[in-house]
Amino acid sequence: MSIINGINGLAPAPKKRQVYSPFEKYWIAFLEWRKRDRLRAQLCHLTDSELADIGMTRGEIDYVTSHRDIDPEVSDRRAERPLPAGE
């Protein structure tokens, strides 16, 4: 009974480790390269009409795989959008 009463509560979660070894950096870079390679292979296996369905051309595959966090369609729309009258 004293063990149950002795528990005061949950301790805060330990902070995530901030120091990485050089091997971990290489490993993370390798895993990212593998993800890009898999994505490139999947996109290359699509037909031109399938790529057009998702709004891509075959020439954009390398760009999309290397810049996965940037949506080329969104940046294209921003360039085409006219400025408001006041600006």
Residue 78 has pLDDT above 90, yes or no: no
% of the chain at pLDDT higher than 70: 55
Show me where the domains of the chain are located: 21-80
pLDDT category, 13, cuts 50, 70, 90? Answer: low
pLDDT category, 42, cuts 50, 70, 90? Answer: very high
Q: Which of 80, 40, 32 is nearest to 64 (CA)?
A: 40
Q: Which of 55, 60, 31, 28 is nearest to 44 (CA)?
A: 60
22 by Cβ neighbours in 10 Å (0-12 / 13-18 / 19+) ranks as exposed
Residue with tokens 């990212």: 32
